[in-house]
Amino acid sequence: MNVLIFGATGMVGQGVLREALLDPGVTRVVTVGRRATGVQDPKLRELVHADLFHLESLEADLTGFDGGFYCLGVTSVGTSEADYTRITFDLTMAVAETLARLNPQMTFVFVSGAGADSSETGRLMWARVKGRAENAVARLRFKAAYTFRPGVIQPLHGITSRTGWYRAVYVVMGPVLTAMRWIAPSFVLTTEQIGQAMLAVARHGAPTRVLEAGDVAAAARGRGATE
């Protein structure tokens, strides 16, 4: 399986990159982002590109993929609706539309968030915008498209968030999150689980288009044999 990752320097992206490189059934991994991950692996190729809204110069390198994982995102805290929409909706669609045209056989996974509003009419700005992006991705002509809605995420294996206050919270809350994973295993997901679930969905699909945290955990548990 050949996989393409957008946002591999973020916390979720780091998780799926790690799992893809460890998976013997994944033969080629390509990452696309504004900066390199710094990871070295024989099956990894990194494409560093300043303007992700315009991928024309990369199109020859963006074909032949079985799975596409879109892990880019920005916090809505302190962000205007226009700026949040530009990253969460406009950039998502610029990338996804390109990939759907180049890889109609691809299974595409869009990382959204718990509480996203698929009606696009709720009071919460971030939830409306996320829901709008989810709906638009679902209409594209991929082999299949899925949305992941993780809630609380615990980073493992040295993975860290790029957002400073997130990192501080994870340091303080690390032991609590570990305990919560035992008490409510479908509420707290790890970066390892999300990465494994993405690979499983790319291989085998899922019973529902939108996967809430519990569905993601189930996909990770039942990921099956590698191919």
Predicted confidence band at 20 (pLDDT cuts at 50, 70, 90)? very high
Tokens of 92: 């998502």
pLDDT digits (tens, 9 = 90+) for 187-224: 789 999 999 999 999 999 999 999 999 999 999 988 64
Helix (H) or strand (E) holding 178: helix 164-183
Q: How many residues does the chain have?
A: 227
φ, ψ of residue 159 to 5 degrees: the values are -75, 140
> Which domains are delineated in the chain?
2-151+192-221 (3.40.50.720)
**DSSP state, 227?**
-
136 has pLDDT over 60: yes
161 has pLDDT over 70: no
**Lowest-pLDDT range of 48-52, 77-81, 129-133:** 77-81
**Lowest-pLDDT range of 23-27, 104-108, 149-153, 222-226:** 222-226
| CA 153/CA 216 separation, integer angstroms | 12
* pLDDT for residue 78: 85
* pLDDT for residue 151: 86
pLDDT digits (tens, 9 = 90+) for 50-67: 999 999 999 999 999 999
Indicate the burial class of 142 (C-beta count within 10 angstroms; 0-12, 13-18, 19 or more): buried
Cα R_g (the chain), whole angstroms:
16
Mean model confidence pLDDT for the chain: 90
* pLDDT for residue 225: 36
143 has pLDDT over 80: yes
Is residue 147 within 8 A of residue 118, CB to CB? The reply is: no
